[in-house]
């Protein structure tokens, strides 16, 4: 696989597409077109391009198989899809931590090298940050990176990880504090770390 195709706009919202796909399964492809590029990019930043292909495909396969249980009160499926992807990423946490530690130690890692593909990934390839991320608990790392790299708001993170909003805030505050301490309040990262999450569908530029 070479990665997902460019996203295309769709007329219906996600909940409508999911509901209609129960009787017209081919419509689910519209959900893939809309969200797969973002999911793929997020996974690639955490695990590398090779894993991103497989996890993106598995995310949407699981979403398709479980779509009848989707809560259509949530009109946008981003949190649901990121939650599935986060669960799959969690199964590779040893690989992620190993890559982060290698990057922190040597300044280069074959998995983490894919993080530098885009100019706005410059923060991700800083060795001190990699070490700080590796030291976080899996739960804290999920929350921090869903906010900082996936541009999810606090409520969306709560929905994605199925945790209370207060837990999102406490984990994020703890992760920010630990990363800031590890980086000695590096201003290049602190400004992005403290920025409020963008509204759903809008992208932050770290």
Each residue's pLDDT tens digit, 128-155: 788 888 889 999 999 999 999 999 999 9
**Angle of helix 93-106 versus helix 127-135 axis, rounded to 10:** 140
Distance of alpha carbon 140 from its chain centroid, rounded?
Answer: 13
pLDDT at 70: 97
Q: Is 80 helix (H, G, I), strand (E, B) or coil?
A: helix
What pTM was computed for the model? 0.75
Q: How far apart are CA 179 and CA 174, in angstroms?
A: 9
Q: Is 39 helix (H, G, I), strand (E, B) or coil?
A: helix
pLDDT at 147: 94
State the average pLDDT over residues 86-104: 83
Residues 56-80 pLDDT 10s? 999 999 999 999 999 999 999 999 9
**Angle of helix 165-182 versus helix 154-161 axis, rounded to 10:** 110
């Amino acid at each position: 696989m070479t990665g997902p195709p460019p996203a295309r706009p769709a007329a219906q919202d996600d909940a409508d597409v999911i509901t209609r796909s129960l009787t017209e399964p081919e419509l689910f492809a519209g959900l893939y077109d809309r969200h797969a590029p973002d999911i793929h990019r997020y996974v690639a930043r955490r695990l590398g391009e090779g894993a991103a292909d497989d996890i993106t495909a598995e995310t949407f396969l699981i979403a398709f198989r479980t779509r009848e249980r989707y809560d259509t009160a949530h009109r946008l499926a981003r949190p649901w899809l990121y939650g599935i992807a986060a669960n799959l990423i969690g199964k590779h946490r040893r690989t992620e931590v190993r890559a982060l530690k290698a990057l922190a130690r040597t300044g280069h890692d074959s998995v983490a090298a894919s993080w530098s593909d885009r100019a706005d990934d410059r923060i991700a390839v800083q060795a001190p940050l990699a070490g700080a991320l590796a030291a976080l608990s899996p739960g804290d790392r999920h929350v921090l990176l869903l906010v900082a790299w996936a541009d999810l708001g606090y409520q969306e993170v709560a929905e994605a990880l199925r945790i209370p909003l207060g837990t999102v805030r406490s984990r994020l505050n703890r992760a920010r504090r630990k990363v800031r301490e590890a980086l000695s309040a590096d201003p290049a990262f602190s400004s992005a770390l403290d920025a409020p999450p963008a509204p759903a569908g809008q992208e932050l530029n770290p």
